[in-house]
Structure 1
Amino acid sequence: MSPRTFAAEDQLPRVPLPTLDDSAARFLEWSAPLLTADERAATEAAVADLLRPDGPGRTLHAALAEYDATPGVGSWLDLFWPSRYLGRRDRIALNANFFFLFRDDTPLAAATSADQAERAAAITLAAVDYKLALDAEEIPPVTQRGKQLSMWQNKYLFAETRIPGAEQDSVRVPYSDEYPGPATARHILVFHRGNAFRLDVIGPDGAPYSAEDITDGLRAVLKAGAKAAATDTAVGHLTTKARAEWAASRAELLADPGNAAAIETIESALFVVALEDFAPQDEQQASDQLLHGDSGNRYFDKAVTFVVFADGQAGINVEHCGLDGTTVLSFVDTLLGTPLAEHAERSGARGQGLPPVEPIEFTLTAAQRADIAAAAADFAAYAAANATQVVAFDDFGTEAAKALKISPDAFAQLSYQIAHRRSKGFTGATYESIATRQWRNGRTEAMRVITPEMIAFVDAFEDGGASTEAKLAAARAAAAAHVERARQCQAGAAPEQHLWELEWIQRRRGAELGVTEPLPLYTSPGWRILRDDYLSTSSAPSVHIRQFGFGSTSPTCIGVAYVLLPDRWNLYLATPQPVAGEMHAFAEHLRTAVADLRELLATDAS
């Protein structure tokens, strides 16, 4: 195995392209538990239409197979991901970006006080150290069970900016045809009270500024930005708009040469540091601020934003188009798990005096100021309509689950289904993200949690007349089915992204391929109901973070982000305000579900 960061990319196995028949059969199997008999019959008819010999489904799949075999293509999913992430037209702030809340007792934090500028400088220097090591391909490839994982996402960590488009967004990113090789920028973007500043963090000769120098630079920002910017001048608010609307606003800004230069400074910056002017009152408020915060103090299109509060607490907000949680966790673990002195020595950081600090200013017309103010007000209302709750289990983690002879993730998902049934009275579609970085260009797979065994388990568990033995057998069967479905996802044998990419191909090339009529599959009950999440779940195991979170994915969905570690289990729940009561009920029922499930499994674990 090569220790060079990207050396193994071309040797990684390619994700297999399932046959159309296999994906169709698996789609019917996965959707069936959620459907009535009539819905199942309608879905089966839609699938039969997709599978017609010489029909549109075969044409679209043949086009995908041809693409997969094209020289230079790493995966049949290479166009799927830009379509999925860059093609979305709603706002990405709160809807797509995700966050991690850092622990305060990490090796990196230990070298500083809780002083805001010192803590932010330590994080900044650690990130610059990582960037320089990445440039030299000295970040060791992540391994899983002895096999190297794809590292291509690391190319999106620095100087990456999502660019809004009228029909689809694009990405400004290093290691691309337009910007070959590593990022050449030496500055970061710093926000305080809605004021934006350029701060150099790498000196003219390529050596990073020392932590003390960066601290001084950040203190200069705190002083220069002490007066809050007028709401209608903070351009970051515009990044909360729906993408086509933001594209129009950005085009108007670019028409002014001075504004174009300001945007260039922002978009080329290595990353963002947002210095907040308050200390969160608790972990939930800290998490909420990391998810959305004051949008005047953010630029949500930047890949990485470190948020540091007035009391030194910190976290990260991540733009999702090129970065998944596992990549960001590896990055964060390296930053936070390494002492500051080690980062400084490895990077060659040295004292060079106060780094250059420059305000980033825009010349705005009355109409542009009104646009910014409207975006700010609209997003503030949108964020206020997002209900959240933190749930913590300090006495349960992966070790306790293993002692109960159950997969920790299966235990979590069984608990979620009990709590959902108790809070809403039914079982609803549930999504879980499965990492697939063992494949070339691998990202994630969409796992659908509801199996026949899962429904049978919840039925039995909630049946007062069911025996302990019956409940136990149902729990073991549901856990086994869950583990098997996760294995299918990791093996590249899940149906949803394959079928979804066929829909995207029709949108991109339908006229060219002669496939212009709507396909019944994509309006069928199975497709609609399977993907209408009531729970959207994802796990982020890291000893260096306290919370992980994201927004919900639909008007009835509860986002369930969880940190499941050997000794603890923290969750961050998010849902639209109209169904906040159901989310809070879910949280309460989750506590009793975990206790009840532990009690049941303990009867069989001795």
Structure 2
Amino acid sequence: MNSSQQWSTRTFGNEDRLPRVPLPTLEDTCARFLTWCSPLLTPEQLATTEAAVTDYLAADSPARVLHADLERFNDAPGTRSWLDVFWPSRYLGRRDRIALNANFFFLFRDTDEDQFQRAAGLITAAVDFKLLLDKEEVPPVIQRGQALSMEQNKFLFSETRIPGAEQDTVRVPYTDEWPGPSAARHVVVFNRGSMFRMDVIGPDGAPYSLSDLEGGLRAVVKAGADGTAPDRTVGSLTTQARAEWARTRGRLIALDPANAAAVDTIETALFCVNLESFAPADTQAACDQLLHGDSGNRYFDKAVSLIVFADGRAGINIEHCGLDGTTILSFVDAMLGETAEAHAERAGARPQGLPAVDPIEFVLDDALRADIATARRAFAEYAAATATRTVSFTDFGTARAKALKMSPDAFAQLAYQLAHKRSKGITGATYESIATRQYQNGRTEAMRVVTPEVLAFVEAMGDPAVSAADKRAAFRTAAEAHVARAKQCQNGQAPEQHLWELQLIQKRRGAELGATAPLALYDTPGWTVMRDDYLSTSSAPSTNIQYFGFGSTSPTCIGVAYVLLPDRFNLYLSTPAAVAEEMNTFVTELRGAVTELQDLLASE
């Protein structure tokens, strides 16, 4: 953009002016692929992978046909990104349960409000944001002079993921099927497994006052005091594997017209508010409840669920298909950055009496009740089979890293590598999510953290014969390589999603394109080892949250969600319970690594 041009102040006013995600050539992608996977491979594995890459790049390779088709799609009118089909396929195509496996959470900073005050304040703040969004008055995010895509904000309100037999779909505003912003005026409030429709915006478009909302929430808790029987909590069905839930949802809707109406009420609601009847024992318990909770008091297919505990602690659970962490951080910062009273005033909230509160009831037969009970039990067992851990460093943060002349993210990631090697004896594949919202429809890029410089750093740190000066040099060299690779990802210069989308095109259209011959690259050690995560990492910096978290992504993986702020460094870890001891050893080693690396740099 010319320096004489100004970015639009309308929320979606810059979308067409953003640059496009660059589509790499096959040669560039394959060269990067070999560079990225090689540190994780034996010489024999690398040779096998190199041979497959040579075949992949051959003039008569199906990969050439697939890439040409991707170029055609990228150049077609209406395409904003060559990843426009990839993202729905990646998120909506997964067939396992999304609860705990895909949804993520934030634990908000604490206040001194009680449950009803906190919930009413969060509803008011969210409605204020929604009304601003409707008018395109939410300021677009500008980062280092570059506007970021705001398209994901269209998934915040009234979005619901709909299960499908082969791939899910999305019911969402701002589409041909549902033009413009949602006109819904209600939310769904959960209490002890019971669901209630509650209006949060009055008939004339003015939001209800804070005291009105508190009254409505109290009415919900009173009406749902007895709770719902464990075989009648329909929300539990959203924990099923997607194809199974699609079948169950079809039977649920077909059983009685009342069920179709109830489902419609949930799916069109602006968001969910989940009131819990208990206070979590500690911070980790709060995080665990935000990640999975009691499935009877959740509806995991809704984009946004605001969860408020009996003691006023609160957080958010997010359905991931249209929303990434950076968008939710902006939303949360907008909600929590001002008082509830300020939000109410700007939104034009006013007293209107008790808002309409109506129970959402389903007609269930024996088979559906059995399905609910089974789903609820299976998910409780699945959650119990996931080990989690919160870790907090109060003596380290971005300010300390910068004082030591070190990239804070590089410091954290290299500490993870050192701790992992010391705890497990190996350097394993590590994923880090890198935001790319500076592009049209930009979301994230998959960064692979392990570089030759990381291996040299870890080896140097484990060798008593290496001097402190040489360890320090290895640390800084590895950090520089980390920052350089992150910039490559930010610039769309990463191999994994390109290769993955070509694989998906072959599955979708290979026969039509005459490109059905197997591509050995996808069976090579380079492809499989590089993507078999031992650490899956993502950061979410905001002073308005305490913790951020998600479930583990594989049987050997530790999920590492971290909040890196000027004065602190908080992590939420998750892994299968069968390898919980390895996670706990990792934590012990991480504590030592953070201290050791600070001391190493401080002695310079």
TM-score by structure 1 length?
Answer: 0.98
Equivalent position of 2:372 in the other structure:
372
Whichever residue aligns with residue 107 of structure 2, its letter is L
Q: Which residue of 2 aligns with 1:347?
A: 347
How many pairs are equivalent? 597
Report the Cα distance in structure 2 between the residues aligned to 1:252 and 1:521, rounded to whole angstroms.
Answer: 42
Q: Give the C-alpha shift of residue 54 in structure 1.
A: 2.6
Cα distance in 2 for residues equivalent to 1:71 and 1:587: 50
Within 1, Cα distance between the matches of 2:16 and 2:224? 47
Per-residue CA deviations over 1:454-496 (Å, capped at 9, x if unaligned) read 0100000011111112111110110000000000000110000
Per-residue CA deviations over 1:517-544 (Å, capped at 9, x if unaligned) read 3211111111000000000000000000
**1:12-411 alignment to 2 at 5 Å?**
12-105=18-111, 113-255=112-254, 256-411=256-411
User: Secondary structure, in 3 states, of the residue corresponding to 1:233?
Assistant: coil
Q: How does 1:457-496 map to 2 (within 5 A)?
A: 457-496=457-496
Q: Deviations over 1:17-43 (max 9, x none)?
A: 000110001000000000001110111
- Aligned equivalents of 1:511 and 1:483: distance in 2? 41
Matched residues in 2 for 1:184 and 1:525: separation? 51
Shift of 1:596: 0.6
Q: Distance in 2 between matches of 1:129 and 1:503?
A: 43
Give 1:317 shift: 0.2
- Equivalent position amino acid for 1:300 in 2: F
Q: Which amino acid aligns with 2:303?
A: A
User: Matched residues in 2 for 1:441 and 1:125: separation?
Assistant: 29
Which deviates more, 125-134 or 465-474?
A: 465-474
Q: TM-score, normalised by structure 2?
A: 0.98
**2:15 alignment partner AA:** E
Q: 1:404-419 counterparts in 2 under 5 A?
A: 404-419=404-419
Aligned equivalents of 2:598, 2:117: Cα separation in 1: 44
Q: Secondary structure at the match of 2:537?
A: strand
Aligned-partner SS, 1:57: helix
Matched position secondary structure for 2:19: coil
Distance 1:499 1:516 in 2: 16
Alignment root-mean-square deviation, CA:
0.6
Q: Which residue of 2 aligns with 1:110?
A: none
Q: Which whole-Å CA distance do the structure 1 matches of 2:462 and 2:225 have between them? A: 57
Report the counterpart of residue 12 of structure 2 in structure 1: 6
- What is the CA–CA distance in structure 1 between the aligned matches of 2:517 and 2:358, rounded to whole Å? 55
Corresponding letter in the other structure for 1:430: T
Q: Which amino acid aligns with 2:193?
A: G
Measured in 1, the distance between the counterparts of 2:148 and 2:327 equals 10
Q: Percent identity?
A: 69
Q: How does 1:566-577 map onto structure 2 within 5 Å?
A: 566-577=566-577
- Give secondary structure in 2 for the equivalent of 1:66: helix
Cα distance in structure 1, aligned partners of 2:584 and 2:545: 23
- Counterpart position of 2:3: none
Q: How many Å separate the matches in 2 of 1:202 and 1:318?
A: 22
Q: Which runs of 4+ in 1 moved over 3 A?
A: none
Q: Aligned partners of 2:257 and 2:516: how far apart in 1? A: 43
Gaps of 5+ in 2: 1-6
Question: CA offset at residue 114 of structure 1?
Answer: 2.4
Distance of 2:114 and 2:406 partners within structure 1: 43
1:266-299: CA deviations, max 9, x gaps? 0000000000010011100000000000000000
